[in-house]
């Protein structure tokens, strides 16, 4: 038995999220179906974390155990030949038996894309948050320093989570405006359920003048989901990279 580590990319538009769900199309379900066909027995896949319906990934990391003797490079070819076109295996390598895609992760990078054009682009509807309103990037940049660092991010976590420890460290948040596209890139040691989307929704409310940049400090201190802004839509979110 050997352990394989893969980096995968997927378009989340037609998935009900990463994690297996009964009678629903999921990323994990598609990968496990291919591996089960190859092994002629059930194979369990573990990821660095789940992503919601509509969320995309450039650098999701998974691992699984195999009894097949296949060179690492051939795993990429074999899996991509059988996987649907909205999932790709970017790399594969043999890992230590103790490697764990979820528990060994030291941090993650997420990217959130906002389309600011006045008229929606139908070709971008599944890959960005269309926000056809004025937004002040300088206001967003003034709020970012309040977020960076180690905090209890209870205000930025979906209320239905069962996670007790909501302390996380945000290493950096980059804000980049290119034409009509605003991209927010978040790096941290870990993220709570919907945390990036709630942070983004709150930063958008700061950018449009609904909130002041310095309010971010009080929102964090409140440790109350009701204190933060709306949850930004799923389709603008991308899991960019997982650090080990």
Catalogue the active-site residues.
52
Q: Are 104 and 40 in contact (CB under 8 A)?
A: no
Torsion sign (Cα): 203, 209, 214, 220: negative
**In whole angstroms, what is the distance from residue 163 CA to residue 168 CA?**
12
Cβ(63)–Cβ(35) under 8 Å?
Answer: no
Enter the DSSP assignment of 223.
T
Q: Which residue has the tokens 């509807």?
A: 125
Contacts of 85 (CB under 8 A, 6+ apart): none
Residue closest to 157 by CA, chosen among 213, 208, 202, 196: 196
| Residues shown for the chain | 244
Measured distance CA(167)–CA(145) in Å, rounded? 17
Report the relative pairing of strands 46-47 and 237-243 from DSSP bridges: unpaired
| Tokens 């930004």 belong to residue | 232
């Amino acid at each position: 038995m050997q352990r394989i580590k893969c980096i995968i990319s997927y378009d989340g538009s037609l998935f009900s999220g990463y994690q297996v769900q009964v009678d629903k199309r999921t990323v994990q379900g598609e990968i496990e179906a291919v591996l089960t066909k190859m092994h002629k027995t059930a194979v369990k896949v573990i990821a660095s974390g789940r992503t919601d319906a509509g969320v995309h990934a450039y650098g999701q990391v998974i691992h699984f155990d195999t009894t097949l003797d296949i060179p690492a490079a051939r795993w990429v070819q074999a899996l991509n030949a059988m996987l649907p076109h909205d999932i790709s295996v970017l790399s594969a390598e043999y890992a230590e038996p103790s490697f764990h895609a979820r528990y060994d992760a030291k941090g993650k990078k997420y990217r959130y894309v906002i389309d600011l054009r006045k008229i929606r682009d139908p070709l971008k509807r599944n890959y960005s948050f269309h926000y056809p309103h004025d937004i002040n990037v300088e206001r967003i940049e003034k709020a970012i320093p309040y977020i960076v660092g180690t905090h209890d991010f209870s205000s930025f976590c979906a209320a239905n989570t069962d996670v007790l420890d909501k302390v996380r460290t945000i290493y950096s948040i980059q804000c980049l405006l290119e034409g009509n596209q605003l991209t927010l890139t978040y790096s941290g040691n870990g993220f709570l359920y919907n945390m990036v989307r709630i942070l983004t929704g709150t930063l958008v409310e700061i950018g449009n003048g609904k909130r002041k940049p310095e309010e971010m400090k009080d929102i964090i201190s409140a440790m109350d989901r009701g204190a933060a802004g709306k949850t930004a839509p799923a389709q603008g979110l991308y899991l960019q990279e997982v650090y080990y």
